[in-house]
Structure formats: structure tokens, C-alpha cells
């Protein structure tokens, strides 16, 4: 009887472990996707690539300089092919552009303009008007929501960024 219970529990626990493993994989994929869109994470991922590209650029510049110096001095240089400096520089600049885009996007995320949710109002924090998050208390929050709906018929209600 005990062995039958263990056999019944065994497949159930294996199925449970498989579900747990698949849920963990899904969570990791979702986290990975979120990080792909996060400009700060992308910036952090680009820095090692940028460093490697700069090292490669400097190495190629040094090899090209040595190659050109030997030609200028009339020394027959070996027939080894020298990598093109302009291609390495182009790669480095492309990474710099990506870093700049990430930083601009991160700055834009931080500096998002906060607006008043009241319909017809275009008040922003930058206009010198103080805006306030919706209160946590149920009664006062309900009053704020009613006030918001007076000016905006199809307003679904506040979210964590809503201000009045």
C-alpha cells in the first residue's frame, strides 16, 4: 500500500517539478525581455563591447603605424595584411552611437513630464504648478476620482503615475 502511495506521489511530484521549472523559465524569459527594453541595462551590456572595440581600435592603429613607418623608412615590410583602421573606427563609433541612444532614452524616462489628469488642463510640474499623487485613504481617494471623472468622461481611473 505504501509503495502504491509513493508511486502515485512520485509522478505527481515530477509533474509539479516540471511545472515549477517551466514557470521559472518563463519568468527568466520575461525578465530578459524587460531588460532588453531597459536602457540602463542595455547601456551596461554595451560598455564591455565598447571597451573591447576601443582596445581593438588602438591595436590596429598601432599595427598600421608600425607598418607605415617601416614603409617610410624603406624597410620591406612583411606581406602580412594589415587590418583597416577605418572599419574598426566605424565599429567603435557605431557602439558609441548605441550608448548615446541608451543614455538619451534613460534621461527621457527619468524626465517624463508629469501632467494633471484633469480634462482640459495642461498643467505640468514644469509650469510651476504643484501636482499631487492620488491619496491612499479610501474616502479621499474616491472624492479625487469623482473630481477627475467630472472633467474626463472616459477616464478609467488613476494609476500609479496619475496626478491631480
Ranges of the chain whose pLDDT falls below 70:
1-19, 21, 23, 26-36, 77-80, 110-115, 119-129
Assign 131 to helix, strand or coil: coil
Sequence spans of domains, the chain? 31-110, 113-164
Residue 50's pLDDT is 95
pTM of the model: 0.49
| Contact predicate 147/100, CB 8 Å | no
Give the DSSP letter of residue 132: -
Radius of gyration from C-alpha coordinates of the chain: 30
Q: For residue 118, which of 73, 72, 153, 164 has the smallest C-alpha distance? A: 164
Assign 89 to helix, strand or coil: helix
Amino acid at each position: 500500500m505504501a509503495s502504491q502511495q509513493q508511486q502515485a506521489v512520485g509522478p505527481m511530484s515530477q509533474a509539479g517539478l516540471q511545472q515549477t521549472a517551466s514557470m521559472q523559465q518563463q519568468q527568466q524569459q520575461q525578465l530578459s525581455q524587460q531588460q532588453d527594453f531597459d536602457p540602463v541595462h542595455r547601456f551596461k551590456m554595451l560598455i564591455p563591447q565598447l571597451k573591447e572595440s576601443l582596445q581593438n581600435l588602438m591595436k590596429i592603429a598601432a599595427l598600421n603605424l608600425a607598418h607605415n613607418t617601416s614603409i617610410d623608412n624603406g624597410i620591406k615590410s612583411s606581406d602580412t595584411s594589415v587590418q583597416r583602421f577605418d572599419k574598426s573606427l566605424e565599429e567603435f563609433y557605431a557602439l558609441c552611437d548605441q550608448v548615446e541612444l541608451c543614455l538619451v532614452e534613460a534621461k527621457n524616462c527619468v524626465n517624463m513630464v508629469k501632467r494633471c489628469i484633469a480634462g482640459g488642463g495642461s498643467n505640468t510640474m514644469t509650469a510651476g504648478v504643484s501636482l499631487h499623487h492620488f491619496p491612499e485613504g479610501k474616502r479621499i481617494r474616491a472624492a479625487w476620482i469623482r473630481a477627475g471623472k467630472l472633467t474626463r468622461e472616459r477616464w478609467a481611473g488613476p494609476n500609479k503615475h496619475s496626478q491631480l
